[in-house]
Amino acid sequence: MVLFGKTPAKKSPAGRSVPGAKAASRPAAAGPRPVSARELAAAAAGRRAGKSGAFEPIGDTSLRGASIIDWSTAPSAIEVQEANPGLCDVLENAALMFASGQDGAARTLLEQGVQADAEARQSALAWLALFDLMQRAGDRNAFDQLAMQYVLQFESSAPSWEKAAPETGEGAAQGGGYIAVAGELSAANAPALEGLRRAVGSSVPRARVDLAGLGGFDEAGARELAELLGRARRQRMALTVQRPEKLQSALEAAVARGRDGGEGAWLLALELLQWRREQAKFDERALEFAVAFEVSPPSWEPPAAGADGASAVAGDAAPTAVATPSRAAEAADESDVLDLAGTMAGAAPPQLAEIEQFGALRDVVTVDMSAVERVDFVAAGALLNVIARLEGRHKALQIVGATPIVRALLLLIGASPRHFVRKVS
């Protein structure tokens, strides 16, 4: 399945004669030609994109940041990897599918491409993107089978399967994952909660979930967020819920409609009251919920307090909330690398504000995207604008850790290979 057709071969400019060639009648126009994924990205970025015939260097690889990042135990420098993107039509279309949440369709297209499409078969990045999608789906058997084909195709070692494991030791003590939930909270927008699902499933220590980017919700979306927050609370996960004010206003409007507001909205409103530790309001609303839906009222079981004893909810408008330092400010004090996580969606994902704040403090802005689950098409364009603004101020942005399918989208939308770096000792 191909989302966009291949760009047709170039023809001689109209009106230009070729010496020695006989005149031939032109066939009638067959309608508008198909638009390729690259042309779509080029139009959005306001530029003209071209394809190079070379391919990404291959060698010993790991899936997370495959073949572009070489993590060292004691990195002391960062080297720019001037690799050709290795893009092809199949990979471009798959990257767009993945960006819009069509993981299965993207995987199917890549599986067919590396077998039947000449360009995709020769593109190491296309293979690495397919490994990426298989890893995300937890399909170890398919991953191992593809690894054998990869070795035969490129005569190089294939990426290794990454086992999910909880953090231990010093890394767990410092911990802290940032999860941005953006867009519509609905059954149709499953990627919106993907980062939170993984964080709760792995009990990521000292994680923060930012709800400021939520634009609305439906019954299924509200239920799932309530369930995820409830799981985190019951397993005593040290989680901070940030900037829920916009969501709370929408929930209050739904609850005011009584039963017609939907049980999911009521459950999510009650869950947020638990995280805000507002017991009096929770008890009152729990009774109203029991009467409206003819069920037993939920029990008051507040979440574990944070390491500093602060409230589990931090927001801009709540007067009792403890102010939380910006992630960029924390990173400026602790590291020369800004760690991003979660899903980047929409024109103004919160991760971009972090990059700009972090970039104000240094000339070389290094961003680790290892924990970024997905970047949609609009957010990719917004990231490109941030890169342009930084470079306009004579700064350099370097990206480490972007997974192959995310990297393919960023290259397609206009990021340069020079923006992707690897750490060396």
Can you give the CATH number for the domain in which 296 is found?
3.30.750
Distance CA 145, CA 63 (A): 15
Instruction: Report if residue 201 sits inside a domain.
Output: yes
pLDDT band for position 423 (cuts 50, 70, 90) = low
Distance CA 396, CA 385 (A): 13
Across the chain, how many H-helices and E-strands are there? 16, 9
Distance CA 97, CA 106 (A): 5
Backbone angles phi, psi at 421, to 5 degrees: -125, 165
Instruction: Report if residue 329 sits inside a domain.
Output: no
Instruction: Report if residue 371 sits inside a domain.
Output: no
pTM listed for this prediction: 0.52
Reply yes or no on whether the pLDDT at 272 is more than 60: yes
Instruction: Report if residue 92 sits inside a domain.
Output: no
Instruction: Report if residue 194 sits inside a domain.
Output: yes
- Range of lowest pLDDT (37-41, 112-116, 254-258): 37-41
Q: Which two tokens stand for residue 71?
A: 């993590």
Would you state the pLDDT for residue 197? Answer: 86
Write out pLDDT tens, residues 107-126.
999 999 999 999 999 999 99
Number of CB atoms found within 10 A of residue 168's CB:
8
Percent of the chain whose predicted confidence (pLDDT) is above 90: 38
Q: What is the mean pLDDT of the chain?
A: 75
CA 255 to chain centre: 32
Instruction: Report if residue 260 sits inside a domain.
Output: yes
How many folded domains does the chain comprise?
1
Q: What is the DSSP string of 39-52?
A: HHHHHHHTS-----
Going by DSSP bridges, is the β-strand pair 313-314/239-242 parallel, antiparallel, or unpaired?
parallel
Instruction: Report if residue 321 sits inside a domain.
Output: no
Domain range holding 205? 169-314
- Comparison of pLDDT for 217 and 308, the residue scoring more: 217
Instruction: Report if residue 216 sits inside a domain.
Output: yes
Reply yes or no on whether the pLDDT at 219 is more than 80: yes
C-beta of residue 67 within 8 angstroms of C-beta of residue 56: yes
